[in-house]
Amino acid sequence: MTDVKVLELRVAVTADDFTAMSKFYREGLGLEPSQVWPEDQGRSLVLDFSQATLEIFDEKQAETVDKLETGRRTSGRYRFAIKVSDLRSATDRLIAHGATLVQPTVTTPWGDQVVRFQDPDGMQVTLFQSAVS
């Protein structure tokens, strides 16, 4: 085993509409920036999701998840899955801040509640509330 430890995962998204994307994630999910860079080099902010994991799927698994959550293969190569403490409130906030509903609440076979959206740039986002905290 190596001495190197991974300390953080950052996913960088280049937004077509920075303002809409910023508002969607900041106001829609209530995330505050942990870093904001000066605008003279372009607009950027870092939103801290407190814990990050990386899921790597093959096509069959991506299709399985999409079918469970939406009934069909619908997401692209990238999709966020964000665990929230109150799915109904988070759903209402995201819709109020530009989310496009892809699929209303579904219960997975393991009991999680999930809702699928598109963010303002069209990337699919799954919000989920775990059956077990």
Is the Cβ–Cβ distance between 108 and 126 less than 8 Å?
no
Q: How many CB atoms lie within 10 A of CB 81?
A: 15
CA 82 to chain centre: 5
- ∠ CA 16-103-13 to the nearest 5 degrees? 25
For domain 18-129, give the fold: 2,3-Dihydroxybiphenyl 1,2-Dioxygenase; domain 1 (3.10.180)
H helix runs in the chain, sequence order: 18-29, 59-70, 87-96
In this predicted model, which residue has the larger pLDDT, 20 or 41? 20
Distance CA 123, CA 16 (A): 11
Among candidate residues 91, 98, 104, the one with its CA nearest the CA of residue 119 = 98
More confident residue, 1 or 95: 95
In this predicted structure, what is the pLDDT of residue 54? 85
pLDDT at position 38: 80
Model confidence at 1, pLDDT cuts 50, 70, 90, reads low
The model carries a pTM of: 0.85
- pLDDT value at residue 133: 61
Question: For the residues 80-92, what does the mean pLDDT come to?
Answer: 94
- Where in the chain are the domains? 18-129
Q: Could you tell me the pLDDT band of residue 36, with boundaries at 50, 70 and 90?
A: confident
